[in-house]
Chains A and B, each alone.
Chain A
Amino acid sequence: MQKAIGKRAISSFISLFLLVILVFFLSRLTGDPAALFLPVDASEEMLEAFRERHGLNDPVIVQFFSYLGDLVRGDFGDSLRKARPALDVVLEAFVWTLQLALITMALVTVAAVTLGSIAAFKVGTAFDRFTSMLSLIGASAPDFWIAIVAIVLFSVNLGWVPTSGTGSVWHWILPICVLFIRPFGLILQVVRGSMLSALGSAYVKTARAKGVKNRPIIFVHTLRNAMLPVVTVIGDQAAALLNGAVVVETIFGFPGVGKLMIDSILQRDFNVILAAIMVTALAIFIMNILIDLAYALLDPRIRA
């Protein structure tokens, strides 16, 4: 297991490195930051001085190696906009995103696993059909549209919660609810399908022949076996949220990593883009290891 994780760490490091190369050069293609950063009527001298100060006049390849050199020393460079270390800017935003992702995924997991398991056990009943319909709507609803409709309805018309920003518990409710819908629908369907096939398996028959009651058959015997594909999808969905729910964060003015990335790309704040990508990539890498560990925890056959 440790060996597998070690291997995974090495391959992740290589992908991370390739990603840095790719993003570094691609972001340079977007154009000159000086043009955006300085006022429109800035003189050529001012632009030149700005470029010189930030090393933008060197050949791109030289810029790249000096960036790598800094990176090795743990220096991600400064943000052009905020004149602060890019890493600090990113970590600040990342904490917001992480909280949002964790709370949402925890709620999604509990709700989808419970409802999905019961739906599978009561397959074909009205409850099953209702949850299936609910999950289908959830999995296919566009989140930007729901976000806007939710703001119109709950913030503007009813005035129950704030439209955007942060500051109180109330600010969290709409973003969480909107982000909840799609993973909930997807995971519910996976849980139901996976539980259905597990409930038809031979060991469930054995458990019934042993006189085990229904509740432990569902939640002890079947659920643990059915969780493997579910954990995969949970990881997948959590990764999407960690990357920053770009659309939802932007609509709700939520200061997370998704919004930060969009802003930095629009402003050609290269160091922030790179730092944000590396931080989220690292988070996703750690989460993948956690998923592997969860597999091993759930299924002894994987531990060997």
Chain B
Amino acid sequence: MAEHLLEVRNLSVRFHTAQGVVNAVNDVSWHLDPGETLAILGESGSGKSVSSSAIMNLIDCPPGEITEGEIFFDGMDLLKASDEERRALNGKRIAMIFQDPLSHLNPVYTVGWQIAETITAHGRPDQMAKDRALELVRRVGIPNPEQAMKKYPHQFSGGQRQRLMIAMALGLKPDILIADEPTTALDVTVQAEILTLLEELQEETGMGLVLITHDLGVVAEAADRAVVMEGGRIVETGTPHDLYHNAQHPYTRKLLAAAPGKGEMRQPDAQAQPILSCRNLSKTYGAFHALDRVNFDLMKAETLAIVGESGSGKSTTARLILRLEEASGGEALWHGEDLLKKSPREMGKVRRQIQMVFQDPTQSLNPRMSVFEIISEAWVIHPGVVEKRRWRGRVEQLLGQVGLLPEHANRYPHQFSGGQRQRIAIARALALEPELIICDEAVSALDVSIQAQVIELLGRLRDELGIAFMFIAHDLPVVRDFADRVLVMKQGEIVEQGPVRQIFEDPREPYTQRLLAAGLDPDPEVQRQRREARLKLSA
């Protein structure tokens, strides 16, 4: 029998839920060798995290049930080992880091204590744990390590928290590190740094790395091998190169086809008239400039993308225009009239013309209202748009426009998938026949294949109905496919703005160049070039 560092054989896990039995993974087999990086690629619900949870004994039984399979590590079948034997392996031989480090770190203990705990939990003396924790905090690149040890998770940035999670996982130099979507909610430049750090640490320690991700770019950047999962089964295994150029399974091909950033770039219409012009728009919180004299125009029926990292002022811009927050200075001219000077009553009328679609449709749709009520509510607030007797027909028409069915009007949000919910949110925005729809990270939470469909829908609405979009996003490939013009923001200022082709093919500002170089491409060859460009820029 060929010895692998870790081998999952024919694993099947099911969960007993209120909706019945769900087969989370079915007959899944994979292995990992020392020093190797294996990516497990899949969309939400594909079961990509389940085998790792089984390795770490993190599946609660009930409701989970491991029906079949073996997990071999170090000559031992983990599924036959006792809880105590497995606890002794966790953190010591096999460690794990997660997405969203803020919620995965305990908010009430210092990070120094939490990192040291990995070591003390396995019986090492306190002082040794402390010294090693400090060494690790320094190694993962946290500034002022001594002070950082005494701070709490909420006092760090997202990227730093993930570095601290990594430090915590590496306390006892594990043979295997499982990273579950380790860079998903992070800014692109931070994502690239974290992946580089993981790679360096892997070289230093020779550990095997399991990288669970939904992002083909992450696979191209970091993986030696990848398994593609769909509906709880492995559909394909191969090197990133093979998968990209030679995908066998239709699902892999579908994923690759849905990956954004390959389409024809749009040419902005030079004749278009501006409908919204912001002049020196500013917002300060005390001495802090959230938005500093921002100037831009938004034309009729165009998509203006605003890109930038967290804290750059993208969402603040939208909130000031809609008067969800009051600006500290400047003007926002809507058809020549300053929105910032309008009375609440006048603003109410403008809100009909400017609608908003948010990132998380689960939270932005009232769970106790039916789809019909959600969409027609807009006509209660703005009477005169649609006569009451025509509401039913109009709701069904709108649902058709966003690719849903008329009978969906009587259902409730929880009965839909994430992508369908976002379509409902779009139908709601369309109900008032707006001129401008502001999309704040509207496709960021969706799976790639769903994302592509929603973008296609938005593009169609723009072209058919002449709606303009302000498209706030951190995901550059999506912007590349959808935008006419792009604003690049950093720390409350516009760094660069121009037509999409100019921004992507000929970025002038170093910051834009760095942002583009940090983005990950599904093509391993392109990604290699990006990586070289990135290293050159950071040198």
Question: Which of A59-67, A134-142, A294-302 makes up part of the contact surface?
Answer: A294-302
| B79-98 interface (Cβ within 8 A of A) | 87-92, 95-96, 98
Residues of B within 8 A of A221 (CB): 106, 109
A300 and B107 contact, Cβ closer than 8 Å, known pairs A205-B58, A210-B168: yes
A203 and B103 contact, Cβ closer than 8 Å, known pairs A208-B57, A211-B90, A211-B118: yes
A203–B104 Cα distance when bound, in Å, is 4
Residues of A within 8 A of B87 (CB): 208, 211, 213
Is A21 part of the binding interface, using a Cβ–Cβ cutoff of 8 Å?
A: no
Is A169 part of the binding interface, using a Cβ–Cβ cutoff of 8 Å?
A: no
- A281-304: CB near B (< 8 Å → 1, else 0) gives 000000000000000001111000
Contact B103 A202 (CB under 8 A): yes
A300 and B117 contact, Cβ closer than 8 Å, known pairs A208-B57, A210-B168, A211-B92: no
Contact B152 A300 (CB under 8 A): yes
The one of B56, B89, B98 that contacts A202, using a Cβ cutoff of 8 Å: B98
Is A224 part of the binding interface, using a Cβ–Cβ cutoff of 8 Å?
A: yes
Contact A211 B154 (CB under 8 A): no
Residues of A within 8 A of B104 (CB): 202-203, 205-206
Question: Least Cβ distance of B362 to chain A in Å?
Answer: 18
Is A11 part of the binding interface, using a Cβ–Cβ cutoff of 8 Å?
A: no
The one of A207, A216, A299 that contacts B107, using a Cβ cutoff of 8 Å: A299
Is B33 part of the binding interface, using a Cβ–Cβ cutoff of 8 Å?
A: no
Contact A212 B121 (CB under 8 A): yes
Contact B90 A300 (CB under 8 A): no
Is A201 part of the binding interface, using a Cβ–Cβ cutoff of 8 Å?
A: yes
Is A209 part of the binding interface, using a Cβ–Cβ cutoff of 8 Å?
A: yes
Is A225 part of the binding interface, using a Cβ–Cβ cutoff of 8 Å?
A: yes
A207–B89 Cα distance when bound, in Å, is 13
Contact B117 A210 (CB under 8 A): yes
Contact A206 B90 (CB under 8 A): no
- B96-135: CB near A (< 8 Å → 1, else 0) gives 1010100111111100000001100110000000000000
Chain B contact-residue range equals 20 to 34
A221–B103 Cα distance when bound, in Å, is 13
A224–B110 Cα distance when bound, in Å, is 13
With a 10 A CB-CB cut-off, give which of B89, B106, B121 has the most chain A CB atoms.
Answer: B106
Contact residues of A: prevailing secondary structure: helix
Contact B96 A209 (CB under 8 A): yes
Residues of A within 8 A of B58 (CB): 205, 208-209
Across the interface, name the chain A residue whose C-beta is closest to B171: A210
The one of B89, B91, B107, B121 that contacts A203, using a Cβ cutoff of 8 Å: B107
A225 and B106 contact, Cβ closer than 8 Å, known pairs A206-B98, A210-B118: yes
A203–B108 Cα distance when bound, in Å, is 11
Interface residues of A, CB < 8 Å — how many? 20
Residues of B within 8 A of A213 (CB): 87, 121
Contact A301 B91 (CB under 8 A): no
A224 and B108 contact, Cβ closer than 8 Å, known pairs A209-B91, A211-B92, A213-B121: yes
A228–B57 Cα distance when bound, in Å, is 29
A19–B57 Cα distance when bound, in Å, is 58
The one of B89, B108, B121 that contacts A298, using a Cβ cutoff of 8 Å: B108
Contact A209 B95 (CB under 8 A): yes
Across the interface, name the chain A residue whose C-beta is closest to B113: A220
A203–B152 Cα distance when bound, in Å, is 13
Residues of B within 8 A of A207 (CB): 106, 117
Question: Least Cβ distance of B228 to chain A in Å?
Answer: 25
A206–B96 Cα distance when bound, in Å, is 8
A216–B87 Cα distance when bound, in Å, is 13
Residues of A within 8 A of B92 (CB): 211
A209 and B106 contact, Cβ closer than 8 Å, known pairs A202-B100, A300-B152: no
A216–B113 Cα distance when bound, in Å, is 13
| A170-214 interface (Cβ within 8 A of B) | 201-203, 205-213
The one of A203, A208, A298 that contacts B106, using a Cβ cutoff of 8 Å: A203
A138–B237 Cα distance when bound, in Å, is 59
Across the interface, name the chain A residue whose C-beta is closest to B119: A210
A211–B103 Cα distance when bound, in Å, is 18
| B141-189 interface (Cβ within 8 A of A) | 152, 154, 165, 168
Residues of B within 8 A of A298 (CB): 108
A207–B105 Cα distance when bound, in Å, is 9
Question: Least Cβ distance of B371 to chain A in Å?
Answer: 30
Contact B107 A210 (CB under 8 A): no
Across the interface, name the chain B residue whose C-beta is closest to A216: B121
Question: Least Cβ distance of A143 to chain B in Å?
Answer: 35
Question: Least Cβ distance of B148 to chain A in Å?
Answer: 14
Question: Least Cβ distance of B96 to chain A in Å?
Answer: 4
Contact B100 A209 (CB under 8 A): no
Residues of A within 8 A of B121 (CB): 210-213, 216
Given A202-B104, A299-B108: 14 more A-B contacts, CB < 8 Å: A203-B103, A203-B105, A206-B96, A207-B117, A208-B56, A208-B87, A208-B90, A209-B96, A210-B117, A210-B121, A211-B90, A211-B91, A212-B117, A300-B107
Chain A residues engaging chain B, CB cutoff 8 angstroms = 201-203, 205-213, 216, 221, 224-225, 298-301
Chain B residues engaging chain A, CB cutoff 8 angstroms = 56-58, 87-92, 95-96, 98, 100, 103-109, 117-118, 121-122, 152, 154, 165, 168
16 CB < 8 A contacts A-B = A202-B103, A203-B103, A206-B96, A206-B98, A206-B168, A208-B87, A208-B90, A209-B56, A210-B95, A210-B117, A212-B121, A213-B87, A224-B108, A225-B106, A225-B107, A299-B107
Closest CB pairs A-B (n = 6): A211-B91, A211-B90, A210-B91, A202-B103, A203-B106, A209-B96
